[in-house]
Structure 1
Amino acid sequence: MSVDEVNDTKDENQVEVVSQELTARKLSWQKLRRSDSLDVESRRVSGHHAHATKEGLKWGVILQLAFQSIGIVYGDIGTSPLYVYASTFTDGINHEDDILGVLSLIYYTITLIPLIKYVFIVLKANDNGDGGTFALYSLICRYAKVGLIPSQQTEDCDVSNFQLELPSKRLMRASRLKNKLENSQFAKFFLLIATMLGTSMVIGDGVLTPCISVLSAVGGIKEATLVMTEDRVVWISVAILVCLFAVQRFGTDKVGYTFAPIICVWFAFIGGIGVYNFIKFDPWVIKAINPAYIVGYFGRNKKNAWISLGGVVLAITGTEALFADVGHFTVRSIQISMCCVTYPALICAYTGQASWLRKHPDLVGDTFFKSTPGRLYWPMFVVAVLAAIIASQAMISGSFSIIQQSLALGCFPRVKIVHTSTKYEGQVYIPEVNYLLMLACVGVTLGFKTTVKIGNAYGIAVVFVMTLTSSLLILIMIMIWKSNILLVICYVLIICSVEIVYLSSVLYKFDQGGYLPLAFAALLMTIMYVWNNVYRRKYYYELEHKISPERVKEIAADTNFYRIPGLAMFYSELVQGIPPIFKHYVANVPALHSVLVFVSIKSLPISKVPPEERFLFRRVEPMDLNVFRCIARYGYTDVRNEEEPFERILVEKLKEFIRDDYWLSQTITNHEEVGEENGEFTDVSIKGENERNEDVGFVQEEQQKESVLEREIEMVDKALRAGCVHLIGESEVIAGKGSGIGKRILIDHAYNFLKKNLRQSEKVFDIPHKRMLKVGMTYEL
């Protein structure tokens, strides 16, 4: 083979390798030629890492998770038999068939809402395994551009967990709804406000669940001794609540293994006692399976029957925990535990209590403990108190998780997130929120004193969250799942109509304690709205005043600037470009570190971002400035304070980027050369002679470039050894001149009050104080 043939073969192989590498990395020449993108440089997709892989677990593991879920998920709904009948018949039982009517309502409510709606429909709307109001919102945000902050980037869609598997049918209806949402500013605000409202109601549920559960369980001691007055019951409940909140900082991991056995014993007790009462007192209550008794109940009691629905709905309290806690387990495990344990035990418990009430209708106020056989009273009392504490623990932990999600999406002020378990994901503790919840619980318990009034408040929180979940789910069914329109209509007519009826009933008791969750929600939504509104205003200000590439080149060309050894990380919230606070910094400090990285912490509307897909880098021109931009992307359940220092992880990824950037530049150069050769007619003999003459020069040039690459990587290592400095951009915000009184109150007073009284950036991200420098600047919004 001649030298010419060897060179031609070399060129062909080189072009083929280049083409294969580009295909493997899913790149395009259009992306490579973009002037200001973060599309390519640090991306390395390595397959799907979604939570959905948990659904492929073996049956042994699924059954183990199903057992563990009993202790975490069902504590709240499992303790409802403590107070449902007492809260429903607040004025006593007027007709013996009223018991059958209420029992029938309980049958069909538990079947329709927790079982059919949540276990078999809502759980399928999980966000890569995570649930809750923000999970539904994040699904909608990923499919339609309804976010109010313009931080979306095309490369976000390349993250493994970001992709949605969408059916291909019924596209026209889904596209119309998607376009309406994307083009309507009102719809975007409405979705955000609805999500905030749902979140606030769940947090309100976290306040009321400990109150009503512990108060109901401790109240059973009055059946054993007359010395125990109502005031003493209240103070004992307060003491238990204080202890419960005091141990939150240790996390649920240390007591988690005791949760499931206790709740299993609880379900065995209430189910077994229910069967015993059913057989002993009145087996004919099974007639309540006929919905005609519901019609008869409303016919006899009319308005009072409608009002009593506020007590019936307490039978499904804690149902939202089925969805909110799915991230700790799997959909299949929760379906198994609900269908095999929780649902049968609850049905038996309510049926047995109804049988007992048929013989003792005058004792409805103390149904639970009065219907317990005498020999089982004390064991039942102890288990009831433990179950109430566990139910409270589950809702408190759920409140922490929800606040973590809202914080990640810029909807809550900065608070410190403490991850209490290295074994179980999602177990978090928030000190400030914990103390506020404790004060709220103690205040509610001392103020209301009885479960009837707390039950009025509790029902509103429960039904509001369910209604909002249904509203978001309908959007997902039409726009993402592309469900048959008949199925959507059936869901609205059956499930949604039932929830609306219950909502109207609980709102009737607004002045009897029902105002409490709405007051909680109003306070929390005010805080969330103030923070989110000013957060968006700050982002738009930085976006409009970001530093241009020309200004960066002027800084690089300025001979008065000194380069000092070391690595500097400049934190900001701006994703697109260099923040204006950097201009303020260089105007006052005429020195730059040898390596400077602008770091933006960005939250994606997904639960988790795989670590290998977390960082996006871009080099800021000119190259000799050694300035880089970095976006660290997190999901709303990701742990930010890893055991390995953030700076060390970032530096390793930066060096990977430098190597990839060298590879890309070589690929582009080779591609252009090949394109020029293919596009021009050149004499074969001249071409071969030119290539032979250039071979030696090509090898020397490659060696020089690799030497430059190694020097650049060594420079980064040297800068890290010299010391890493964390520069925090702390921007003060004030209302601009000529602003109205509303805007001044919002920014100057409300937002700045929250900012000054809550944690700062360095405390949230655990930045070491010895290597931190704050750079302040005032924004006039």
Structure 2
Amino acid sequence: MDPQLSPDACSHHIKKETWKHTLLLSFQSLGVIYGQLSTAPLYVFGTIPEKDIASEETAFELFSFIFWTMTIISLLKYAFIVLGADDDGEGGTFALYSILCRHAKVGLLPNDRAANEVMHYEAGSPFRIKAESRARRAIEKHKSSHYLMLFLALFGSCMIIGDGVLTPALSVFSASSGLQRSLSDMSHMFSYSKSRQESISKDLKRYVPVPSACAILVCLFMLQHYGTHKIGFMFAPIVIVWLFFISGVGIYNIFRWNHHIIYAISPVYMYKFIRNVHIKSWRALGRIILCVAGSQAMFADLGHFSKKSIKITFLCLIYPVLILCYAGQAAYISKNLHVKNFNHLSESVPEHIRHFFIALSLLASAVGSQATITASFSIINQCLSLGCFPRVKVIHTSDKIHGQVYIPDINWLLMLLSLTVTVGFHDIIKIGNAAGLAVVSGMLVTTCLMSLVIALYWEKNLLESVCFLLFFGFIEASYVSACMLNFHKGAWYLVVLLIFSLTIMLAWHYGTMKKYEFDLQNKVSTEWLTDLSPGLGVSRVPGIGFIYTDIVMGIPAFFSHFITNLPAFHQVLIFVSFKSLPVPYVHPSRRYLIGRVGPKEYKVYRCVVRHGYCDHIRDTDGFEEQIIGSIGEFISVEENDFESLTSPEGRMIVVGKPSSSPDGKALIPMNDTSSNVGPASLANNETQVSPLNDITEIETSCSAPVKRKKKVRFMLPADSPKMRDCVREELQQLIDARESGTAYFLGQSHLSVRNGSDFLKRFLIMMYSFCDRNCRQPPVALNIPYAALVEVGMVYTI
């Protein structure tokens, strides 16, 4: 990527990562990324019915599958190959999709050619497509392939969200079941009758696992607002103790019960399993895939850490410890087929430390859920930025690592769904069946997208891409077939969850796309606005008007509708467009693209704010001041700037870097703590607050109390002999307009479907309208003060 587009100090990306920082991130990753992988032994063998493990040979064969599945998928695929396909340090399904959008032109949001040039304009831009190839031409030519890639990206995202619902329920419930068995064993120490002991066991099974699991889940989700950084430090010590404990127990079991389990790493045991396979034994593979549950978090949570830290931790600690643990458990199972609940991890722990293990497993199970929850936040944040998820509040929990986010609405929704799964199923086998399908389906989507990245982005030989797809795709497809055999035993819940979440994503994307197409088709030319004269009854009033619009060329239909009904607009107009680009970050110095709309005397400007899918510019304080400062820079360098884009509306200049003029910045910001915020009007709006500052509740009546709010005022440089008089005059007019007040114009769209439209179109538009009414509203998302907001309603007939 062009270094101009890569964030420096404000990015998660560190050019020269020190060993100290790598070790620190490795330590934190234990509590966030590897919690799920580390706690998988709690339920991998435990989700397999006891009757399906009928002999010592079966235990050896299942361990052989675990060893090679972890080696091929977790180690080879994710640690060595997929981690190399990061999108400027970001990972996940949408990171792969954004790479394809840039390098294969598969994006589906419509743009006219001029608007596309404006959005992607950059000197030395990484958006320029690489040399044509047969594969790239074929993909670009067939529109169906574009829809297929978007569907794969959304499908993979839904699988990660589904994993975020099921894994917390699975890991916590499995640990709680161990607690119930431990208490049941303690009851046998008392001299109760056999019937009394059976009654106690039933009561413990009914009243211990589900309530304790629910209590732990509630506590876990309540901790999420502290952010990845703090949670990583809190959870990492627990994972370290857990890893050393289970590795020690594994070594003990290997030498205590059956050291011949080491021979099971031979693929011959897998061959024996497949040779004698039948439906019941094949179903067991749907639970074995849970041994790699959490491997996808290595890639999905990449934005929270670094590739080096993730890889070092996995190779040096996670992988060898888990192999030892599974080997020890399989060794115990092979010699204890007569013991009740022999396939549960707690039974393989020596009795004198079993109670300590139960307490530790309860803590570790909560940690194990963190990886999927964090991955869900990351993937939804990416979907949101690319217009594939309804507006929700995103809180960035770190100023240094921008990939660390917390989404309150999603957090509570995941908690509710996890509790529903725990209470509704209260069966580790059924929950495991659904979780296994979620894990392997997400991995299969990653394999499909990764094969395209190898061919189109890495530009490897087509044979290498096909081999990657066939090798890993065949393995994962085999596991999918095993999971589908358990569809009626719990896996159906994942399908219901998939239909629900995928419908919302597709409906939101469809509605966004149709709304944008309507805006493009009904926009008004710039001449329509600039040709308006006082003779036509249109007047200019003091102040600045910010018009928020999705289009980057022309006048939006809602604003022309407003002018037609109320023929007046502000002394200075600024058309602001937020445009998400298929990159993780856009450097602040390259973020604003400023240009004029019409002749200078009209003082109408356009500001295109370009951002990546991990940027959080809409939550940045002082956004209004940044735009005004950028326009001031544009005015001062307009005549002499040679790095500009000539658009149909005129020149547009990238603004944000320090001014190269000897006079410094065109406008000097000054903090003013005595500004008043009161009722707003179009003629004289005295509300002078940033649209991205915290919203202050303001009464709109005439008797409303005036509230005090900080603002940034501007002044011209004291001594600037090289600044021309016309430039100084225009800058002074901009300052005066700011002092007169600011108003914000938003289009309030109401989508309706044309008569005669098919059911699918009506359903998608209905779902979009429902989500639009109930999600976070644009004024809130933009932090616009309601006292200064002007909403213009329009009906969009789709």
Work out which of the residue numbers 23, 34, 41 in structure 2 matches 1:74: 34
Work out which of the residue numbers 76, 83, 97 in structure 1 matches 2:43: 83
Separation (CA, whole Å) in 2 of partners of 1:604 and 1:47: 11
Separation (CA, whole Å) in 2 of partners of 1:78 and 1:371: 17
Deviation at 1:209, TM superposition (A): 0.8
User: Is residue 329 of structure 2 the alignment partner of residue 353 of structure 1?
Assistant: yes
Separation (CA, whole Å) in 2 of partners of 1:606 and 1:357: 49
Which amino acid is 2:757 matched to? Answer: S
Work out which of the residue numbers 741, 744, 749 in structure 1 matches 2:762: 744
Q: Name the SS for the 2:276 alignment partner.
A: helix
Separation (CA, whole Å) in 1 of partners of 2:589 and 2:45: 54
Separation (CA, whole Å) in 2 of partners of 1:116 and 1:657: 51
Structure 1 residues 741, 341: closer, same or farther in 2, change over 3 A? closer
Separation (CA, whole Å) in 2 of partners of 1:210 and 1:234: 13
Separation (CA, whole Å) in 1 of partners of 2:425 and 2:15: 44
Structure 1 residues 160, 403: closer, same or farther in 2, change over 3 A? farther
Q: Deviations over 1:255-291 (max 9, x none)?
A: 3312222111111111111111112211111001111
**Partner in structure 1 of residue 100 of structure 2:** 140
Deviation at 1:731, TM superposition (A): 1.5
Deviation at 1:335, TM superposition (A): 0.9
Work out which of the residue numbers 283, 286, 298 in structure 2 matches 1:322: 298
* Equivalent runs, 1:305-320 vs 2, <5 Å: 305-320=281-296
Structure 1 residues 47, 140: closer, same or farther in 2, change over 3 A? closer
Structure 1 residues 220, 566: closer, same or farther in 2, change over 3 A? same
Separation (CA, whole Å) in 2 of partners of 1:298 and 1:144: 40
**Partner in structure 2 of residue 615 of structure 1:** 592
Which amino acid is 1:223 matched to? Answer: R
Structure 1 contact 417–764 (Cα < 8 Å) conserved: no
Separation (CA, whole Å) in 1 of partners of 2:627 and 2:353: 60
Structure 1 residues 280, 161: closer, same or farther in 2, change over 3 A? farther
Structure 1 contact 162–606 (Cα < 8 Å) conserved: no
Structure 1 residues 90, 714: closer, same or farther in 2, change over 3 A? farther
For structure 1, the residue ranges without an aligned partner over 5 or more in a row are 1-43, 669-701
Q: Name the SS for the 1:617 alignment partner.
A: strand
Deviation at 1:559, TM superposition (A): 5.1
Structure 1 contact 45–613 (Cα < 8 Å) conserved: no
Separation (CA, whole Å) in 1 of partners of 2:730 and 2:59: 80
**Partner in structure 1 of residue 82 of structure 2:** 122
User: Is residue 724 of structure 2 the alignment partner of residue 718 of structure 1?
Assistant: no
Q: Deviations over 1:103-139 (max 9, x none)?
A: 1111100000011000100011110000000000000
Separation (CA, whole Å) in 2 of partners of 1:705 and 1:425: 39
Structure 2 contact 25–306 (Cα < 8 Å) conserved: yes
Structure 1 contact 594–626 (Cα < 8 Å) conserved: yes
Answer 1 or 2: higher relative contact order, Cα 8 Å, separation at least 6.
1
Which amino acid is 1:130 matched to? Answer: E
Separation (CA, whole Å) in 1 of partners of 2:554 and 2:735: 25
Work out which of the residue numbers 124, 132, 139 in structure 2 matches 1:181: 139
Separation (CA, whole Å) in 2 of partners of 1:379 and 1:393: 22
Aligned-residue RMSD, C-alpha = 2.5
User: Is residue 310 of structure 2 the alignment partner of residue 292 of structure 1?
Assistant: no
Deviation at 1:704, TM superposition (A): 11
Deviation at 1:525, TM superposition (A): 0.9
Separation (CA, whole Å) in 2 of partners of 1:67 and 1:339: 14
Deviation at 1:365, TM superposition (A): 4.8
Separation (CA, whole Å) in 2 of partners of 1:211 and 1:667: 55
Deviation at 1:102, TM superposition (A): 0.7
Q: Name the SS for the 2:606 alignment partner.
A: strand
**Partner in structure 2 of residue 520 of structure 1:** 497
**Partner in structure 2 of residue 755 of structure 1:** 772
Structure 1 contact 161–609 (Cα < 8 Å) conserved: no
Structure 1 contact 52–128 (Cα < 8 Å) conserved: no
Separation (CA, whole Å) in 1 of partners of 2:537 and 2:212: 71
Which amino acid is 2:352 matched to? Answer: R
Deviation at 1:97, TM superposition (A): 1.1
Which amino acid is 1:304 matched to? Answer: K
Structure 1 contact 556–625 (Cα < 8 Å) conserved: no
Deviation at 1:663, TM superposition (A): 1.8
Q: Which runs of 4+ in 1 moved over 6 A?
A: 665-668, 702-705
**Partner in structure 2 of residue 417 of structure 1:** 394
Separation (CA, whole Å) in 1 of partners of 2:82 and 2:128: 17
Deviation at 1:556, TM superposition (A): 4.6
Structure 1 residues 159, 322: closer, same or farther in 2, change over 3 A? farther
**Partner in structure 2 of residue 258 of structure 1:** 234
Separation (CA, whole Å) in 1 of partners of 2:308 and 2:506: 36
Structure 1 contact 110–315 (Cα < 8 Å) conserved: yes
Q: Deviations over 1:364-392 (max 9, x none)?
A: 55521111122322332222112211222
Separation (CA, whole Å) in 2 of partners of 1:592 and 1:155: 26
For structure 2, the residue ranges without an aligned partner over 5 or more in a row are 185-199, 646-719
User: Is residue 475 of structure 2 the alignment partner of residue 498 of structure 1?
Assistant: yes
Choose 1 or 2 for highest CA Rg.
Answer: 1
**Partner in structure 2 of residue 103 of structure 1:** 63
Separation (CA, whole Å) in 2 of partners of 1:490 and 1:665: 48
**Partner in structure 1 of residue 162 of structure 2:** 204
Q: Name the SS for the 1:727 alignment partner.
A: strand
Q: Name the SS for the 2:133 alignment partner.
A: helix
Q: Deviations over 1:708-740 (max 9, x none)?
A: 111111211222222222211111111134434
Separation (CA, whole Å) in 2 of partners of 1:164 and 1:276: 56
Which piece of structure 1 moves more, 415-424 or 326-335?
415-424
Structure 1 contact 206–396 (Cα < 8 Å) conserved: yes
Separation (CA, whole Å) in 1 of partners of 2:381 and 2:283: 36
How many residue pairs match? The answer is 699
Structure 1 contact 463–502 (Cα < 8 Å) conserved: yes
Separation (CA, whole Å) in 1 of partners of 2:778 and 2:259: 63
User: Is residue 152 of structure 2 the alignment partner of residue 194 of structure 1?
Assistant: yes
Structure 2 contact 97–153 (Cα < 8 Å) conserved: yes
* Equivalent runs, 1:330-345 vs 2, <5 Å: 330-345=306-321
* Equivalent runs, 1:504-543 vs 2, <5 Å: 504-543=481-520
Structure 2 contact 5–587 (Cα < 8 Å) conserved: no
Deviation at 1:79, TM superposition (A): 0.7
**Partner in structure 1 of residue 423 of structure 2:** 446
- TM-score for the superposition, normalised by structure 1: 0.85
Separation (CA, whole Å) in 1 of partners of 2:88 and 2:533: 45
Separation (CA, whole Å) in 2 of partners of 1:519 and 1:297: 32
Structure 1 contact 88–310 (Cα < 8 Å) conserved: no
User: Is residue 211 of structure 2 the alignment partner of residue 235 of structure 1?
Assistant: yes
Q: Deviations over 1:177-203 (max 9, x none)?
A: 111111111111111111111111110
Which piece of structure 1 moves more, 441-450 or 761-770?
761-770
Which amino acid is 2:324 matched to? Answer: C
Work out which of the residue numbers 470, 482, 504 in structure 1 matches 2:447: 470
* Equivalent runs, 1:387-406 vs 2, <5 Å: 387-406=364-383
Work out which of the residue numbers 362, 373, 386 in structure 1 matches 2:338: 362
Structure 1 residues 425, 564: closer, same or farther in 2, change over 3 A? same
Which amino acid is 1:112 matched to? Answer: I
Larger relative helix fraction? 1
* Equivalent runs, 1:5-20 vs 2, <5 Å: none
Separation (CA, whole Å) in 2 of partners of 1:164 and 1:746: 32
Which piece of structure 1 moves more, 150-159 or 634-643?
150-159
Separation (CA, whole Å) in 1 of partners of 2:16 and 2:227: 29
Q: Name the SS for the 1:729 alignment partner.
A: strand
Structure 2 contact 90–403 (Cα < 8 Å) conserved: no
Deviation at 1:558, TM superposition (A): 4.6
Which amino acid is 2:219 matched to? Answer: C
Q: Name the SS for the 1:731 alignment partner.
A: strand
Identical-residue share of aligned pairs (%) = 37
Work out which of the residue numbers 129, 138, 163 in structure 1 matches 2:126: 163
Which piece of structure 1 moves more, 67-76 or 432-441?
432-441
**Partner in structure 2 of residue 695 of structure 1:** none
**Partner in structure 2 of residue 222 of structure 1:** 180
Separation (CA, whole Å) in 2 of partners of 1:526 and 1:74: 31
